[in-house]
Chains A and B, each alone.
Chain A
Amino acid sequence: SQTIHQWPATLVQPVGSPLSLECTVEGTSNPNLYWYRQAAGRGLQLLFYSVGIGQISSEVPQNLSASRPQDRQFILSSKKLLLSDSGFYLCAWRGRGTQYFGPGTRLTVL
């Protein structure tokens, strides 16, 4: 069966520091992968998606970037965090007609 992992689970970072969040998927090959941010409350914002290694589509211009160095690895990065980057970051993969989410990373920028 397929599983999706994210780490770390929680992160507290100062403004201006770099960021690297990692997502990996097991049990499937060449998955479509997604990064979402969920603001306080419930809204989901699609940040990036990838259909394959090295292929990244950005949905919203922002302070973040994404990379896909391996088939089942998706990384979300920032060179300098802003206060507004705080949120709950979710990785998802596409399969069997819908998207399946990872456990998420709670990022707090102070």
Chain B
Amino acid sequence: DAKTTQPPSMDCAEGRAANLPCNHSTISGNEYVYWYRQIHSQGPQYIIHGLKNNETNEMASLIITEDRKSSTLILPHATLRDTAVYYCIVRVQETSGSRLTFGEGTQLTVNP
């Protein structure tokens, strides 16, 4: 799996958009970008994933640059409950026995 680089921490005001960057300059053509988050003492929660097109779901939007070397996860209206560690993972599509590997992630703190 390609290596990813994320800032260790970010702050965001409640109600504002949270934009979380991820660099993955060594990404291969068949690797997807996945985002998970983990709220303290809970299991990781899948957020979104994409290959090269921008993606949006009920939780977030994923913007992938044209060269696919970086991406941004956008939480459009952050709430206090969005405070968590956010993990950007680059890997080939899921297969039996494939493992998820989390890096250090970004600690997002949403402030009132």
Binding site for A on B (CB under 8 A): 32, 34, 38, 41-46, 49, 85, 87, 93-94, 96-97, 99-105
B96 contact set on A, CB distance < 8 A = 32, 49, 51, 94
B101 contact set on A, CB distance < 8 A = 44
Grouping DSSP codes into helix (H, G, I), strand (E, B) and loop, the A interface class, with mixed when no group exceeds half, is strand
Cβ-defined contact, A101 with B93, below 8 A: no
Q: Does A100 contact B (CB under 8 A)?
A: yes
CB distance from A16 to the nearest CB of B (A): 27
Docked Cα-Cα span, A42 to B106, in Å, equals 11
Select B105's contact among A42, A102, A106, beta carbons within 8 Å.
A42
B43 contact set on A, CB distance < 8 A = 6, 90, 92, 101-104
Minimal Cβ-Cβ distance residue in A for B47: A98
Docked Cα-Cα span, A34 to B100, in Å, equals 10
Cβ-defined contact, A98 with B34, below 8 A: yes
- Rank and list the top 9 A-B pairs by shortest CB-CB distance, nearest first: A101-B43, A46-B99, A104-B43, A101-B44, A44-B102, A103-B43, A51-B96, A90-B43, A102-B43
Binding site for B on A (CB under 8 A): 6, 32, 34, 36, 42-44, 46, 49, 51, 57, 59, 88, 90, 92, 94, 97-104, 106
Cβ-defined contact, A106 with B44, below 8 A: no
Listed A/B pairs (25) with beta-carbon separation below 8 Å: A6-B43, A34-B99, A42-B103, A42-B104, A42-B105, A43-B102, A44-B99, A44-B100, A44-B101, A46-B100, A49-B99, A57-B97, A90-B43, A92-B43, A92-B100, A94-B96, A97-B94, A99-B46, A99-B94, A99-B100, A101-B44, A101-B45, A101-B46, A104-B41, A106-B41
CB distance from B88 to the nearest CB of A (A): 13
